[in-house]
Amino acid sequence: MFTGLIECVGTVKSTGSRFQVEAERDLDLTSGDSLAVNGSCLTVTRIDGRNLFFDVSPETFRRVVAPVPGMKMNLERSMSAAGRFHGHFVTGHVDAVGTVTKVKRSSGFSEITVSFSREHSILLVEKGSIAVSGISLTVASLSERDFTVAVIPETLEVTTAGEWKPGYRVNLEFDIIGKYVTRAALAVRSNESLREYLEQYESGRS
């Protein structure tokens, strides 16, 4: 589990099934730890100084923006049980890829508009949370085709958000609470009562 609070940025050194990223600083990781890399939860398989290695499946690469050498990526360690909760619930499971369509800068802040597939519009609400390339952000405005987030100077400085411009592709993870609520609502709408839905859920656990 992550919170969307980025700890540092890394640079892609090599791609393929053995994926390598060089972090800007030591993250105090060990082999087997989980790390959100641009919002995608990966397992660290080897460490060489600040160089981190991951074994990545084809399914993961199909779901995310394809990394290329030199690409900057947001890095966040998994949350500890004793940690403070700074952002929102981020699982590290990317739902879709979006595209930056507009960047408006003013007084150090940026209003960034991202287009996404219409099928996911039901999973967003204004003032709700979304993880954009791993960064926990708040939806400022929303339509069926895009959403806008306001990004503060600190976030622009310490994450890849400062590099975003029209055409830049980003990983999107929608709020997991919204996904569960939507699933339950759709079950009811399809003539399956909520009680039946919950009974099936409980049955599946036993």
pLDDT digits (tens, 9 = 90+) for 30-73: 999 999 999 999 999 999 999 999 999 888 888 999 999 999 99
Structure token digits, residue 112: 């960034």
What is the fold of 96-174? Elongation Factor Tu (Ef-tu); domain 3 (2.40.30)
Q: Is the dihedral of CA 29, 42, 54, 51 positive or negative?
A: negative
Closest CA to 96 of 166, 36, 40, 58: 40
Inter-residue contact 13 to 51 (CB < 8 Å): yes
Query: Where are the CATH 2.40.30.20 domain residues in the chain?
Result: 8-77, 96-174
At 69, which helix (H) or strand (E)?
Answer: none
Distance CA 55, CA 151 (A): 32
How does residue 194 score in pLDDT terms, banded at 50, 70 and 90?
A: low
> 8-77 — its CATH code?
2.40.30.20
Query: How much is the average pLDDT of 12-33?
Result: 94
Q: Which two tokens stand for residue 61?
A: 């690469």
Assign residue 177 a region (left: φ > 0; alpha: ψ between -120 and 50; beta: otherwise).
Answer: alpha
The model's pLDDT over 58-115, given as tens digits with 9 standing for 90+, comes to 888 889 999 999 999 999 999 877 677 777 889 999 999 999 999 999 989 999 999 9
The C-alpha torsion from 58 through 60 and 62 to 66, rounded to 10°, is -100
